[in-house]
Every structure is written in structure tokens, then in C-alpha cells.
Amino acid sequence: MIPASFVVLLLYVTGQAVQVRPDILIADFESEDYRDWQVEGNAFGPGPAEGTLPNQMEVTGYQGKRLVNSFYGGDRSTGRLLSPPFRIQRHYINFLIGGGGYPGRTCINLLINNSVVRTATGPNTQPGGSERLHWHTWDVRDLEDQVARLEIVDLATGGWGHINVDHIVQSDRPAVVDLRREFVAEKKYLNLPVERRAPRRRMRVLVDGEVVREFDIRLAATAPDYWVFLDLTPFRAQTVVLELPGADAELKGFDMIHQDDTFPGESELYREKYRPQFHFTSRRGWNNDPNGLVYHRGEYHLFYQHNPYGTQWGNMHWGHAISHDLVHWKELGIALYPRRYGDWCFSGSAVIDVHNTSGWGTPDNPPLVVAYTSTGRGECIAYSLDNGRTFREYEGNPVVRHRGRDPKVIWYAPGRHWVMAVYDEFEGKRCIAFYRSPDLKQWEFCSRIEGFYECPELFELPVEGEPGHSRWIAYAADGAYVIGQFDGQKFTVESGKHPYNYGNCFYASQTFNNVPDGRRIQIAWGRMNFPDMPFNQMMTFPVELTLRRVDGDLRMCATPVREIALLHGEERSFQDLIVRDGETRSVDAPGSLWHIVTEIAPGTARQAGLRICGIDLTLDFVERKLHCHGQSAPLPREATSVRLEILVDRGSIEVFAHNGAIYMPIGVLVADKSPSLELFARSGEATIKKLTVWRVKSIWFDD
């Protein structure tokens, strides 16, 4: 803010000296009571609050010791504060505001003759959010000399039913400004500095007067924590306008934005401290669900939920990466951009329209078709004739309208039609709905099954060891699955719901369509937080799904795809290692990232296992359980000695026990620990019948 000490400041605008008068303080709310402000109701308490109130998230960003905080008595309380009249004698009114974002209900109003002539709210309407106050400015040049009052209102009683205000001043300088810049796009990237603690602002990119990109970004206020980029190639040689309305006048980041053929940090890319070395992560920003998993013309496509401009969920785009072997990934440009701000591209799937039922391709070049949720519209279809590099929208979108999202489309060969399994909230129930279509354009509702939440999956698996037998599987985001029959329209459930994964980070998985050798391959969102990195979250390692009898009952099993062998470096093998009661035996394991295969026989031990970088993976032969990092899973009865397969990367330990009957993907910052591998036994002696450890090579570099 402008220091109160100076008297007159001269600003030179177009050569003319303009006098800037000192600020006039309306209220700083530093006293114990509200002084000459009128108080109604109980929300504002006996006087300005000393910061955070009981049961409130930490309130920050106010000035001095006190502020207006209507969380007095919690969100349920209501009330109003009314200022004494004052004359408008400056160009702007600046103040700090936070709390609820409900117009008319959690707000500050400027009143002239009892009518509201300006209003502002806090930023929050959703659970989560932040109690931080930010500057707000009203331009009141048209109201000069009028007599006004301020009113601070809390009429809201639900979540975020409170308002915080502080430091109201009249000033000739706005605390927030509308920033604008113009340049000709010549380089590949527009580089944008991000600061984690800076307020989220909405930024617009315009070309020819049209908004071509619009997104939220925590543009650096002072110094960037990391940089993100926007692909400028579609706008080459055109004049690009950047707009940032309502920016803090002190904001530095806007001037740091620049175009370049590289992005800051690119030379360190994939070498960052926590960067997983054989799990896919996005170069910059946030990822969640894998989308559009499909094989086409030698490439596995991994599209994904992506925020390109920050490491938190938001601004949902479809990111895109490809692989020739399921393990080495190459990130390409963004595949699907939101049509406009707020109309996000949520999860969906991809198919190859081999028979060209849509007519969008040719028999020689069948289209790659994606189905996704456009949050403003419903389930939408887009197609690509250049192997997923660019997409065109079907003009008949949306193809399905309902309360739901996350369409998974498959070809139902016996009926020669398409099937969409989609998350659907019908009459308040969480369901998977099934639709069918002859051409990917016209969709007809068929049936529903209840009890599934988000990101459905549907596929057929052969029963191992029972030639000619197969079953259909259906599951949703948590992976818990039912086994049954599917006739192209209706799923007949034949089993209970079986838990599938016992880890701490698995969500919203999907399986590949069109895999040439018929394997059913799955990737999930690895919900794992990577602190202080320019990226966040990861994908789990691809697994092959099979259906086999475990303890006599059909179970879906997961094992790492065999292509893991492509990443094998040095190998160490051991046999018949005896680990004595209470002993910890260290294993000379090469490198720090591993693929481990071992078979442990209980012997007389109650517990035996591996200590991986200090994290215990314990088999308890009395409880018949597997434990790791706070997670546990029951061991199948038939597993007398237990075969374990383990993948250790910088941010995860993925455990597969008894040939995948137990799948336990664990997100944990292994990179924070020192690399070590040990064997242990407790309450008796155990035999490690076999142990093979391979060093796993990075998928990003030759090492």
C-alpha cells in the first residue's frame, strides 16, 4: 500500500504531471469495538476479531492485529455492519476481502441514498478454499463528492457463510488493476511464472478480438516458484493479447511473462528431486485420471486430466502422451482444450472406429474417436484423423445429456454396435448407465446398475485355465468390481463386489481399447502429492488384468506388464536365504529404483518381509495378512509361500502378491529416504526361497 508518510506523489502520465493525493483511511478495524459503525445481529461479535476465530481455518492477508470476521459463532450466525456516512474524495476505494463468495449474502456494499452502487464478495463457495484476504478496488471516479456509506453483510448460514474485510481506504491509486499486453507470437511457448501462495487469478488470451484461452493461474506476485507454459504455435505470426483483470497492483509476474522456444526449467526436466523415473507424470502442472487409453498404429495413447497452469486440480484439459512399448512415454501437446472458461473437458475414453461406422474416416484411415464429458454440455464426441494429434468436434454434441460424466466406450462385437458405460446419477443413486449406438453419434439408453461412483469400466476377460469361458467385469473409480454377463445392453451381476486394490493412491483407472495382442491393460491415476515440484500426481505402472480362480473363486488379478523387462538394468539373484528371528539382513541391490521378485516361505516365523528404503513390507503368516505403509490386505489361503513382485520408484511402491491376486499400489516419497533393501523375520525363522532384484532404468534418459 501507499505509505501514509508521503504527502504528494507526482505521476507522469503522457508527459503531464498528475498529483496523487494521500490516502484517506476509512477503517482499519484495529480497535476493540466497531467505534461509530452500527452493528446488527451477532455474526460480527463485540468488535473486530484478532485474526482467526475458534474452529476457523487460518485467516491470513489482513493488516495489523484485527479485522472484520463474521465467523463469530461459526457460519450460522448472521448480521450487518454499517459505516457512518463519508464523502467520496478519491478515485478509488481499496480494501482487503476474504471469506464467502455469495453475492448479496456475504458481501461488502457501497451505498448511496440507500442503494447499492458497488458490491464485492469473498472468493469461496466450495469446501476447501482459503481464508486469505485479497485486495479489491472499486473505481469510484463517477461518484466523486457524493455522500456514501459502507455495509458489510453476512446473511449466509451454510458453508463459507461468513465475510472478512479489512483496511478500507480511499486512494488515487487502485490496489488492483486490469493488466493488458500485446505481442506478436513468434516462439513456441508463452512462459508463465507461478507462485504457490499467490492468489488465483483468471487470465485471458485473445487473438483477433476472440478469447482463445482462458484459465485460472496463481501468477507470481513476487518471485516464481516454477514456470508453466502455453503452446503458442497455433497463433504463430498473429497478434496475441494477454489480459489479467483485477490484478494486485504490486503483482510482478505479469511483466515476467515472455515467449521463448524453451521453458524455464526445461534443461532440468525429469531430473527434479521427486520426479518418478518410470511412471508417467506431466512435464508441468497437475494430472488426474488417465483418459482415452487406446492403441492405434503402433502407438499407445495416454490422454489424461490435466491442469497445464498449476499443480492443483483445475482448468481441466486433456493432456496427451504416446508410447511404443507401454513404458517409455513422450508427452505431446494438449489434445483437448476447453471450448470456453468453465466448460471443462472431464474424463472419457477413446476407440478406433475400424469399420468407419461414423463415416468420419476411410477404411484406410479409421478415425480415433474420443468420448468425454464437457462440463457445460454433457457427453461429447470428437475425432482425429491424424493419430490423435488434432481433434474435430462432432457438430451434434452433446450426444448424451444426463446427470453424470466419464463415458467409457467399447465396440460390442457380437452386436456390431458401440456401448457407452457412463457414470450416472439417477434419482439420487450412483449408477453406471449403459447406452448403445450404431455410429458413435446416435445413442440410445439401455440399462443401469447401481452402486458405482465415477469413471466406469466394462470389459470381458477370459477365465484362465478354462478355455472357452469368459466373464464381463464392471467397476468404477475405486476399482471394486463385479463379475457377470453382458449382452450388449444389460449387465447381469453374478458376484458380490470384490475389492480390487489395497493401496493408498489408486483411483479412476481405465483399460486400453484395441490392444493388438488382446491383453487387458490398465493404468490408474496415482493420487500422490509431490511437494514443491513443478508437476503433481502420477500414473500407476501399467498392469495386465487376468481372471482366475483364487481359493476357488474368480478374482481379477493384476501384474506389471511384461514390458517392465525393457527397463531392466543390472540384476542380482539369491536363493534360499535364511533369515533368523529378529535378524535384518541387507541385500546388495543395484541403484535405487527396483523391480523385485521374491518368494518367501514362512518357515517358523510369524512375520517376514522386506524393508524397502526403511518402509516395511510385512507378511504376517499368523494373521494371514500383507502390510505396507499403513495398508493391509488378506493373503489367499492357497498361498503357502508367497510370491511378491514389487516396483519401487521415487514416489511409489507397487506391490503385487500371489501373482497379482493382491494389488497394493502405494504412493510414498521414497526419494526422501536413503536407498536400502533389507530382509527381516520376526518370531521365528523364514526362508527367502528366491529373490531377484533388477535396477530399473529411467524411461526419460539413458542410464
If the CB atoms of residues 295 and 525 are measured against ligand FRU, the closer one turns out to be 525
**Min. distance of Cβ 373 from ligand FRU in angstroms?**
6
Give one word for 128, left, alpha or beta, with left for phi > 0 and alpha for psi -120 to 50: left
**Min. distance of Cβ 158 from ligand FRU in angstroms?**
23
**Min. distance of Cβ 288 from ligand FRU in angstroms?**
5
Nearest to 543 by CA among 519, 526, 527, 567: 519
| 13, burial (CB in 10 Å: exposed 0-12, middle 13-18, buried 19+) | exposed
Residues contacting 90, CB < 8 A, separation 6+: 21, 23, 24, 140, 170, 171, 172
If the CB atoms of residues 346 and 383 are measured against ligand FRU, the closer one turns out to be 346
Interacting residue with ligand FRU among 405, 408, 650, 658 (CB under 6 A): 405
**Min. distance of Cβ 519 from ligand FRU in angstroms?**
25
Interacting residue with ligand FRU among 406, 544, 649, 654 (CB under 6 A): 406
Taking CB under 6 A as the rule, does residue 537 contact ligand FRU? Answer: no
If the CB atoms of residues 312 and 631 are measured against ligand FRU, the closer one turns out to be 312
| Nine-digit cell string for 432 | 453406471
**Min. distance of Cβ 450 from ligand FRU in angstroms?**
17
If the CB atoms of residues 346 and 541 are measured against ligand FRU, the closer one turns out to be 346
With CB under 6 A as the rule, give the number of residues binding ligand FRU.
14
Strands 535-536 and 285-296: parallel
Taking CB under 6 A as the rule, does residue 424 contact ligand FRU? Answer: no
Taking CB under 6 A as the rule, does residue 653 contact ligand FRU? Answer: no
Site string for ligand FRU, 217-256 (x = CB under 6 A): ----------------------------------------
Taking CB under 6 A as the rule, does residue 617 contact ligand FRU? Answer: no
**Min. distance of Cβ 407 from ligand FRU in angstroms?**
10
Taking CB under 6 A as the rule, does residue 305 contact ligand FRU? Answer: yes
If the CB atoms of residues 77 and 501 are measured against ligand FRU, the closer one turns out to be 501
Residues 1-40 that bind ligand FRU (CB under 6 A): none
If the CB atoms of residues 27 and 455 are measured against ligand FRU, the closer one turns out to be 455
**Min. distance of Cβ 405 from ligand FRU in angstroms?**
5
If the CB atoms of residues 90 and 405 are measured against ligand FRU, the closer one turns out to be 405
Whether 649 contacts 670, CB under 8 Å: yes
Residues 259-290 as b or e (16 or more Cβ within 10 Å = b): bbeebbbbeebeebebbbbbbbbbbbbbbbbb
Nearest to 696 by CA among 571, 590, 572, 567: 567
Residue 566 DSSP one-character state:
G
Interacting residue with ligand FRU among 191, 287, 288, 510 (CB under 6 A): 288
How many DSSP H helices and E strands does the chain contain?
Answer: 1, 54
Q: Is 593 helix (H, G, I), strand (E, B) or coil?
A: coil
If the CB atoms of residues 477 and 626 are measured against ligand FRU, the closer one turns out to be 477
Whether 677 contacts 610, CB under 8 Å: yes
Tally of CA atoms within 13 A in the half-sphere of 577 that contains its CB = 23
If the CB atoms of residues 44 and 346 are measured against ligand FRU, the closer one turns out to be 346
**Min. distance of Cβ 344 from ligand FRU in angstroms?**
7
If the CB atoms of residues 319 and 602 are measured against ligand FRU, the closer one turns out to be 319
If the CB atoms of residues 399 and 639 are measured against ligand FRU, the closer one turns out to be 399
From residue 631, how far is each of 25, 245, 501, 615, 655 by CA, in Å?
A: 57, 47, 10, 12, 11
Q: Is 6 helix (H, G, I), strand (E, B) or coil?
A: coil
Whether 516 contacts 295, CB under 8 Å: yes
Q: Is 681 helix (H, G, I), strand (E, B) or coil?
A: strand
| Nine-digit cell string for 212 | 482463445
How is 455-468 classified by DSSP, letter by letter?
Answer: S-EEEEEEBTTSTT
**Min. distance of Cβ 347 from ligand FRU in angstroms?**
3
If the CB atoms of residues 189 and 481 are measured against ligand FRU, the closer one turns out to be 481
| 395, burial (CB in 10 Å: exposed 0-12, middle 13-18, buried 19+) | exposed
**Min. distance of Cβ 289 from ligand FRU in angstroms?**
5
Whether 229 contacts 156, CB under 8 Å: no
Of all helices (H) and strands (E), which one includes residue 260? Answer: strand 258-260
Residues 543-572 that bind ligand FRU (CB under 6 A): none
Q: Is 79 helix (H, G, I), strand (E, B) or coil?
A: strand
Whether 461 contacts 470, CB under 8 Å: yes
**Min. distance of Cβ 525 from ligand FRU in angstroms?**
6
* Distance (Å, whole) CA 373 – CA 455: 11
Taking CB under 6 A as the rule, does residue 347 contact ligand FRU? Answer: yes
The size of the chain, in residues, is 703
Taking CB under 6 A as the rule, does residue 283 contact ligand FRU? Answer: no
Instruction: Identify the bridge partners of residue 591 per DSSP, sorted by sequence position.
Output: none
**Min. distance of Cβ 396 from ligand FRU in angstroms?**
21
Interacting residue with ligand FRU among 43, 148, 152, 316 (CB under 6 A): 316
From residue 426, how far is each of 106, 372, 377, 429, 477 by CA, in Å?
A: 33, 19, 17, 5, 18
Whether 686 contacts 601, CB under 8 Å: yes
**Min. distance of Cβ 486 from ligand FRU in angstroms?**
22
Interacting residue with ligand FRU among 346, 475, 535, 694 (CB under 6 A): 346
Of all helices (H) and strands (E), which one includes residue 42? Answer: none
Q: Is 680 helix (H, G, I), strand (E, B) or coil?
A: strand
Residues 430-459 that bind ligand FRU (CB under 6 A): 454-455
Site string for ligand FRU, 455-494 (x = CB under 6 A): x---------------------x-----------------
Taking CB under 6 A as the rule, does residue 282 contact ligand FRU? Answer: no
Residue of 75, 154, 289, 353 marked catalytic: 289
If the CB atoms of residues 137 and 510 are measured against ligand FRU, the closer one turns out to be 510
The angle subtended at Cα 244 by Cα 239 and Cα 249, nearest 5°, is 125
261 is catalytic: no
Residues 365-404 that bind ligand FRU (CB under 6 A): 373
Interacting residue with ligand FRU among 289, 379, 424, 654 (CB under 6 A): 289
* Distance (Å, whole) CA 432 – CA 453: 8
* Distance (Å, whole) CA 272 – CA 265: 9
Site string for ligand FRU, 497-536 (x = CB under 6 A): ----------xx----------------------------
Binding site for ligand FRU (CB under 6 A): 288-289, 305, 316, 346-347, 373, 405-406, 454-455, 477, 507-508
Enzyme catalytic residues: 289
